């Protein structure tokens, strides 16, 4: 446990930031799952709707330095690739 006042404050700040980051990560992870479920069910309209929401959440996470920009781009690219194969059929 921290002894100094500044160290105690740092622990509080870290706990706050961690909670916020986990909330945002949970949002985009669940959005990715919803998109994948819609693709698995071959529901193109629903999949496109969820992909749009997922892309927005990933971009917000990137802006807030929760995700690296390349990681977000990779996730969006893979989802978009699945979406294109669904649309092509």
For the chain, 89 residues long, the average pLDDT of each consecutive 10-residue run is 94 97 97 97 96 98 96 98 91
Q: Which pLDDT value is given to residue 65? A: 95
Inter-residue contact 47 to 35 (CB < 8 Å): yes
d(CA 83, CA 39): 7
> Is the Cβ–Cβ distance between 89 and 43 less than 8 Å?
no
CA end-to-end span of the chain, whole Å? 59
Give the domain extent around 49: 5-88
CA separation for the pair 44, 38 (Å, rounded):
7
Q: Where residue 13 sits, what CATH number does that domain have?
A: 1.20.58.110
What is the pLDDT, as a whole number, of residue 89?
66
Q: What is the pTM of this model?
A: 0.86
Helix (H/G/I), strand (E/B), else coil: 76: helix
Domain count, the chain: 1
Q: What pLDDT score does 31 carry? A: 98
Q: What was the pLDDT predicted at 42?
A: 95
């Amino acid at each position: 446990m921290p002894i100094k006042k500044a160290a105690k404050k740092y622990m509080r700040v870290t706990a706050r930031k961690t909670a916020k980051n986990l909330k945002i990560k949970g949002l985009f992870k669940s959005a990715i799952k919803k998109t994948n479920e819609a693709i698995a069910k071959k529901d193109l309209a629903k999949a496109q709707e969820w992909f749009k929401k997922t892309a927005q959440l990933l971009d917000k996470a990137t802006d807030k330095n929760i995700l690296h920009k390349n990681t977000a781009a990779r996730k969006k690219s893979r989802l978009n690739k699945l979406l294109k194969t669904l649309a092509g059929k």
